[in-house]
Amino acid sequence: MALELGRGGKSAVAETTGMSRNTVIKATREVESGISPSERQRAVGGGDIKAEVKQPGLLEALEELVHPATRGNPMSFLRWTSKSTAKLADDLVRQGFKITDDTVGRILKNLGYSLQAPVKEKEGTAHPDRDAQFSYLNDRVGEFMQAGEPVISVDTKKKLRHEVACSERARRSEARPMPEA
């Protein structure tokens, strides 16, 4: 538009749109050089520097919070945390880092973690000592692996086991009715 208006066109476009005159001048040069308009507001690679680059030690601090054994065991076997991204962010802020829960979620995703929604449909409330359960399991996995034994993880639910047992009882009673007393 600024080019079509001719002399004074850049100033007129800047005034009409509320943009800086320098922005209109730069855009005019880009159009004249053949750069096509884009949906991007910044050039590729533009934007803020990632928190983990700006803040040395952030990744290590997050790994320490997420790791089941927070000290002295860099080769832990299980990767878990019962903390939400908000709690992890709060812990990191207390350590002096500037970070939000969204950024914690992004970093964990980039590290290969799968973020799971805290939904429990059938299990009921969580065990009050869930962290201790995971620590115990992690220790047992380590013992078996050091002994050269295979490790298989099986997660069962009491209610599910109960439902299977009931359906199994019902199936048996249909196939072979119990004798009446």
Q: Could you tell me if residue 178 is inside a domain?
A: no
DSSP 8-class letter at 155: -
152 and 102 co-located in one domain? yes
In this structure, what DSSP letter does residue 22 have? H
Query: Per the confidence metrics, is the pTM higher than 0.95?
Result: no
Q: Domain total for the chain? A: 2
Is residue 121, in this structure, part of any structural domain at all? no
Tell me if 5 sits within 8 A of 28, measured CB to CB: no
Looking at the fold, whether 28 and 56 belong to one and the same domain comes out as: no
* More reliable by pLDDT, 31 or 134: 31
Domain assignment present for residue 64? The answer is: yes
Residue written as tokens 């980039």? Answer: 110
The range of the structural domain enclosing residue 77 comes to 49-115+130-164
Alpha-carbon gap, residue 109 to 103, rounded angstroms: 10
pLDDT in tens, 123-180: 455 566 666 777 788 888 888 888 998 887 776 666 666 666 666 666 655 555 555 6
